[in-house]
A and B are shown apart, each in its own frame.
Chain A
Amino acid sequence: MCRSHQCHIVPPHILEELAKRGNISCKKTLNDAHRILARRNSALNDLLIRDAIPGHGDRLVYDSENGYEQQVKLVRKEGEGPINDLAVNQAYDNSGFVRAYFKESFGLDSIDSKGLDIISNIHYGKDYNNAYWDGDEMTYGDGDGKEFTNFADAIDVVAHELMHGITQFLGNLEYRGQSGALNEHFSDVFGTVIKQKFLKQTLEEADWLIGDAIVTKEFPGVAIRSMKAPGTANEFDNQPDHMDNYYSGADDNQGVHVNSGIPNRAFYLCCQEIGLDDCALIWFETLKVLWRTANFFDTLKMLLTTANTLKEKKKVHDSAPEAVARSFFEVGLTLEVA
């Protein structure tokens, strides 16, 4: 057993190997060490950096007033009523829905399971076509009005960005290559799960689209991504739906938003067999045991282990492990049998 205080003197590559073999305390130490190092580097570069302040999972919405700064003007905080700004109320309400989903489904106390306050910055920049998580808080642009509209309006976008925060604190999947595509995948998974809960949809009613609410009629497509049919959401959509079409270029941190289409499709297929809630539970529990550099095969292996464990505990359908294996087989991923 590797207790966390002992792990600090163990070199990172050994910690990674132990984490790979399922040692959760080593994995946690490794994740913490990376986070501390990143924060220390930031602090050295910027003496004004904010320290993480333990919170109560409160929602704080700031208005960037179309500039490129965060936390400019606090416009609504936890418990306060709606104000006369739609984007503010959307960021507040959508982040509240996401927070409630994770609390009710997995007992998670905010993003970091320690009550981290949920900070949203809205009206960021001019015609800014993006939303992002920066390690501490979320930032939403209004969109240019030509192709994109307000990003805070879309529940799946808000859930996707908040999920990046949860992933950071649970698995901290490195944001490049396959681990980066998995980071994107987990955000899309809980983006679609929470969207379906928000809209009270059945599996059949769900469109499995990500970002359909932020595109205008002029945008050449119906959404940003499709989990059901990766590569079909718009005319720029180059997501593969099978390992045969795996993107191996350097763009976008080696295709983090591209290759996520492969596990995304597997998730969609698995949901068709055992349902949304069983899949959400298996995926969430798997994220807890993944490590920073996990790849697609590592993830499949851990999904199968988790599905078997949950099956034994009668928490998911009996056919869950087979459903996971079949879904990944369909996208070209199977575990090699020794």
Chain B
Amino acid sequence: MKYQIKVEGGFTGITKEYNGEMHFSPDERKAILKLLQNPVKSKNTGLRDGFVYSFMLRDGTSSYTAHFDEANLPITLRNVLARISKKS
């Protein structure tokens, strides 16, 4: 799947962007797309200096976009981001 991930804000205010392609197993792919289609509403409005995460994944001709913050970024997507940032 092709991905475009933007991490902005944080104490540093330095934006990081990751663009590329990554292979996911069918189960992973299903879980990731489910999370992007049904993002959990943020629970915390008191966040200061938290990162804001924007995920855009393309699966064939369909693209899926969702935004998260520190309070509602699912662990599955954190792990995806960790793998991608290690790669770059």
Contacts and interface: CB of A to CB of B under 8 A. Distances in A.
Nearest to B51: A130
Nearest to B85: A127
Contacts of A49: 43
Nearest to A173: B48
Interface stretch (A9-17, A133-141, A266-274): A133-141
Given A133-B48, A134-B50, A134-B71, A46 B43 contact: yes
A257 interface: yes
Interface string A40-64: 0110011001000000000000000
A251 B15 contact: yes
Given A224-B11, A252-B13, A132 B78 contact: no
Contact count band on B: 20 to 34
Interface string A108-148: 00000000000000000111011111111001000000001
A81 to B, nearest CB: 29
Contact of A135 (B9, B14, B41, B45): B45
B29 to A, nearest CB: 22
B10 A134 contact: no
A132 B11 contact: yes
A46 to B, nearest CB: 5
Interface of B: 8-15, 41, 43-52, 70-71, 75, 78, 82, 85-86
29 contacts: A38-B45, A42-B44, A46-B43, A68-B75, A125-B78, A126-B82, A130-B50, A131-B11, A132-B49, A132-B51, A132-B70, A133-B46, A133-B49, A134-B70, A135-B44, A151-B11, A161-B11, A175-B47, A187-B48, A224-B13, A225-B13, A234-B14, A251-B15, A253-B9, A256-B9, A256-B13, A257-B12, A257-B13, A258-B13
